[in-house]
């Protein structure tokens, strides 16, 4: 009798399978000719399932964000249809009702087709900004700069720049083109402020330009931050024009700790006051209390420092 396939010690019998694996009484084959195991197949199936769940979650998130726009569009269309029907049934008010019908239908279609298709979550924005802030803060620390933030109006399309001085009582530089200022009397770092483009976006929504009155300007900036940019739940501004000071209480902003380097919300207010008042603005932050303080030189010579 041939001894091939017989284990003389255990007495079990094995035989080579057609696909190159070994099957026997001890259990089923675990690999195929390509080396793929059952665990590999299971992991692949789990990854495909997770990818599908992530896709569904993204679609659900976008749908939830689009829902208010869709409902508004539907409401406007219904209003337009009702007004149009009323115009047919009520000849006396036909002109007004037809005008409302046209406005409602047009507004509904416009709202529907202009609904945003893509949204960036607050976590993504905060993480991207946080990385940038950490890098800039590390550069400022390496250069031995002070923990001061001075926002300087440029008087041109650049709007404003952030100046971080090296020494106390340093006068702001007159030239804001180079990032590194090496002059002994103005030594420091000049950067583009994160609030510049935010302010530009808000200015496009204003009927008039930025107010020259500190109190009115503060109200414009607070409304812009909350209503236009939607970067905070609320912002309350307390202005003391005689002292050259504006204190802003910010609640639930979208970018985390207000003490981070050139925080978008803090930068927005500092740039706004610098551009509106056409003066350098020094920024102070109390992150624990959620307070920002912008200081400038008032007409009676107080403030700023």
Please tell me the pTM assigned to this model.
0.62
For 130, the token pair is 């946080």
Residues 6+ apart with CB under 8 A from 134: 260, 261
279-297 average pLDDT score? 94
For 94, the token pair is 């036909």
DSSP assignment of 182-225, as one string?
A: --TTT-EEEEE-THHHHHHHHHTT-SS---SSHHHHHHHHHHII
87-92 average pLDDT score? 82
- Residue 27 has a CB neighbour count (10 Å cut-off) of 7
Residues 6+ apart with CB under 8 A from 71: none
In tens, the pLDDT along 112-128 reads 666 555 545 556 667 78
* Residue 13, pLDDT above cutoff 70: no
SS3 233: strand
In tens, the pLDDT along 139-180 reads 999 989 999 999 999 988 889 999 999 888 777 777 777 788
Contact 249, 235 (CB under 8 A): yes
* Residue 181, pLDDT above cutoff 90: no
Contact 262, 191 (CB under 8 A): yes
Average pLDDT of the chain to the nearest whole number: 80
Which of 116-130, 202-216, 246-260 is the least confident region?
Answer: 116-130
Confidence of residue 6 (pLDDT cuts 50, 70, 90): very low
* Residue 281, pLDDT above cutoff 90: yes
Distance CA 87, CA 12 (A): 93
Q: Given CA atoms 134, 265, 195, 128 in this order, what sign does their dihedral have?
A: positive
Contact 291, 249 (CB under 8 A): yes
Q: What is the pLDDT of residue 23?
A: 46
């Amino acid at each position: 009798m041939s001894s091939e396939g017989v284990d003389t010690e255990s007495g079990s019998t094995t035989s080579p399978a057609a696909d190159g694996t070994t099957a026997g009484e001890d259990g089923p084959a675990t690999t195929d000719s390509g080396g793929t195991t059952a665990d590999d197949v299971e992991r692949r199936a789990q990854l495909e399932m997770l990818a599908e769940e992530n896709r569904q979650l993204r679609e659900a998130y976008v749908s939830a964000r689009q829902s208010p726009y869709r409902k508004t569009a539907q409401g406007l269309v219904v209003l337009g249809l009702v007004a149009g029907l009323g115009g047919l049934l009520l000849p006396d008010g036909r002109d007004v009702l037809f005008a409302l019908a046209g406005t409602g239908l047009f507004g509904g279609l416009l709202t529907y087709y202009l609904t945003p298709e893509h949204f960036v979550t607050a976590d993504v924005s905060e993480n991207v900004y946080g990385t940038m802030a950490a890098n800039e803060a590390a550069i400022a620390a390496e250069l031995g700069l002070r923990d001061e933030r001075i926002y300087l109006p440029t008087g041109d399309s650049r709007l404003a720049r952030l100046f971080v001085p090296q020494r106390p009582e340093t006068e702001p530089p007159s030239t804001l083109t180079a990032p590194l200022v090496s002059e002994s009397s103005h030594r420091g770092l000049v950067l583009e402020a994160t609030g510049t483009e935010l302010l530009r976006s808000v200015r496009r929504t204003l009927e008039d330009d930025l107010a020259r009155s500190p109190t009115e300007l503060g109200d414009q900036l607070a409304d812009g931050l909350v209503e236009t940019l939607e970067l905070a739940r609320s912002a309350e501004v307390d202005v003391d024009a005689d002292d050259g000071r504006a204190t802003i209480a910010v609640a639930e902003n979208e970018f985390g700790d207000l003490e981070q380097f050139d925080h978008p919300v803090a930068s927005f207010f500092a740039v706004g006051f610098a551009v509106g008042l056409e003066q350098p603005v020094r920024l102070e932050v109390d992150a624990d209390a959620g307070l920002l303080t912008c200081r400038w030189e008032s007409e009676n010579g107080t403030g700023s420092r």
